[in-house]
Amino acid sequence: MTERSVPRTIAILDQRPVGLALPQSVFQPNAQVKPTGLLVDARGRPLRDLRISVTDRCNFRCSYCMPKETFGKDYPYLPHTSLLTFEEITRLAQQFVRHGVQKIRLTGGEPLLRKNIEVLVAQLAALRTPDAKPLDLTLTTNGALLARKAPALKSAGLQRVTVSLDGLDDAVFRRMNDVDFPVADVLAGLHAARAAGLGPIKVNMVVKRGINDHEILPMARYFKGSGMVLRFIEYMDVGATNGWRMDEVLPSREVVQLIHSQLPLVPLDPAVPGETAERWGYAGSNGQYDPAAGEIGVISSVTQAFCGDCNRARLSTEGQLYLCLFASQGYDLKALLRSSASEADLSAALAHLWSARSDRYSELRGTLAPDQNASAQRRVEMSYIGG
């Protein structure tokens, strides 16, 4: 490149924060470090997991993510030219993989709204880690389009899916998605995904006290023995548009206690390092874990911070790199991609940004003064970078 400065991205609304230009030090000769497959941040956490948002659009209006009051019919979504192309996403993903990423999750908005998403899946499925292993390639969806899309996604190389489902009671579910979408269609999507061979399937339920917490036991009973893993997620203070309040958070320990009182549980070890979910298996008549009955997970994103081994980076729809789900700023990689940047330039940028990372918002949440928490009004929205 003849000019190494990267212009700022202009934010349309506060919900899409301005991306920071990359530091000039990224492009110095001594920054051109050859990837080794092990890139650690300032706290010794390796880069292993990449979340990629492929669209800022969604066909649901869940109150905890894209409330209708903010994301109404006049909301200015990003124009198509602002989105990273599939080729740009794959080019960046290749560099992340060279630095140690082993898992890629496609998110949104609702990723199945992105036209020809199967093409991107096929491109990412072709990537290999430095030791020639395929990636763990997955996708998170609200399930509305899954029945139609599941076979093509599997054929393209997708391995598994995670489906958001906040209750089985149709009235509760329609109220939470706020577009009157029936729960039966999401369940049909789950069954189609299983029939297509996408698995293991995970089902995520965001629990809001007083809203859908009465659905915890019905969900646990329905998915026990189904071969699908049900996970309960504490309602999070992501972004500034969901009206988050601590008194609406139902701590995971209460979820486990409730289920255990009716369906005995036993603790299970983490499946992988850095796993966000605490695993609990259903106990058989002998009091031991019964694999046929399956397991649940709880993600204690508010009451039990998991910053200590967080190994996730997030790439927004328009190419901003976020190093924390609760970040207020991203770094503009799209401008670098659309310049004359070499593969070495991209690699150096990622290495520089991750190695300097020290984010641990969840660990600090309870210690921040009110004026420090006020910065949440600039925090990136979940709908912009996925969960």
Q: State whether the Cα torsion 68-9-359-271 is positive or negative.
A: positive
Give dist(CA 314, CA 104) in Å, integer.
Answer: 10
- In degrees, rounded to 5, the angle at the alpha carbon of residue 374 between the alpha carbons of residues 373 and 379 is 85
pLDDT for 360: 80
65-82 residue pLDDT tens: 888 988 998 999 999 999
- Indicate the pTM of the whole model: 0.87
Q: What is the pLDDT of residue 305?
A: 67
Say if CB 313 and CB 96 are below 8 A apart.
yes
Answer yes or no: is pLDDT of 351 > 60. yes
**Quick one: pLDDT band at residue 10, thresholds 50, 70, 90?**
very low
CA–CA distance, 105 with 1 (Å, rounded to integer): 31
Q: Taking the CB of residue 374, how many other CB atoms lie within 10 A of it?
A: 11
Query: Which among 1-5, 81-85, 368-372 has the top mean pLDDT?
Result: 81-85
Residue scoring higher pLDDT (13 or 32): 32
Residue 309 pLDDT: 87
Could you give the domains of the chain? 24-385 (3.20.20.70)
